[in-house]
Amino acid sequence: MEINDRNKNKKINIAKLPKYLGNYLSNIKREMEIGELNVENDGRISLVIFDKTGSNIPTHYNVKQVDRSSSDIYVLASTQDSSAVEGVVDNELLVTPVINRKYIEYKKEHANKLENTTETIDSLGEGIRMEKFGNLREMEVLAKKRKQMLIDKKRERLDKNEVLNIVFNAFEKYENWTVRDLADFTGQPTAFIQEIVNEICNVDKKDHKSIYSLKDEYK
């Protein structure tokens, strides 16, 4: 089949969205205002979705613009009878969720619906690095495997969003943790875990040991 390349020099932008956000937008059947895009003076871009359907999806996102003008990536549209180049990708917009209370509640609700089944989502599907859902026992096994992989292969630390999900699961199992125990549970460097708990936890210093518990807004 011959490909129509008449539009091969047409510059277009593409966006990569979390899978649930893509499903939400594709199910909108009528014209409506879906959100607000904000561009700061320093170039930072954020997106706020107006959830008018009551789907309870996360509403706040960061948008990263990546220049693809030198990558020669083309968008191809195909049907059963023909194929045509839609254009060449000029910019790629990576839309990732802001890790806030609404996002955490949404992920917990989604995990509960899985009823202890395990789901693996690729990096394009969720807009963040590989993420795994399952019961706490599965998370413990996964954390041990990750720790061993870090030891064996000397891997760099995991993506922060991925580690946050493991940390939140840890606090579902026990209310209080030390940084060292959390580092063992996640298989991550202690200094990295310290950065995370400083953001999301309260600290109780007793018996010469710092004990961390989640701040109320993350419970």
pLDDT in tens, 31-41: 888 899 999 99
Contact 49, 22 (CB under 8 A): no
| pLDDT reported for residue 120 | 47
* Token pair of 86 as six digits: 């839609």
User: Which of 24, 25, 13 lies closest to 94, judged by CA?
Assistant: 13
Would you give per-residue pLDDT tens digits along the chain (219 residues)? 567 888 888 999 988 888 889 888 888 877 888 899 999 998 899 999 998 778 889 999 999 988 888 877 888 887 767 788 888 889 989 999 998 888 888 887 776 665 445 444 443 444 433 334 444 555 566 666 665 555 544 446 788 888 888 888 888 888 899 998 888 888 888 888 999 999 999 998 876 678 999 988 787
Q: What is the pLDDT of residue 1?
A: 54
Predicted pLDDT of residue 85:
84
Q: How confident is the model at residue 153, as a pLDDT?
A: 47
**C-alpha to C-alpha distance for 209 and 145, rounded to whole angstroms:** 27
pLDDT at 127: 44
Provide the pLDDT for residue 123. 39
Residue 83 falls in which region: left (phi positive, over 0), alpha (psi -120 to 50) or beta: beta
Q: How far is 183 from 194, CA to CA, in rounded Å?
A: 9
Q: How far apart are CA 14 and CA 213, in angstroms?
A: 41
Question: What pLDDT sits at residue 79?
Answer: 72
Distance CA 199, CA 174 (A): 18
Give pLDDT, residue 118: 47
pLDDT of residue 136: 52
Radius of gyration of the chain (CA): 21
User: Each residue of 10-64: pLDDT tens digit?
Assistant: 999 988 888 889 888 888 877 888 899 999 998 899 999 998 778 889 999 999 9
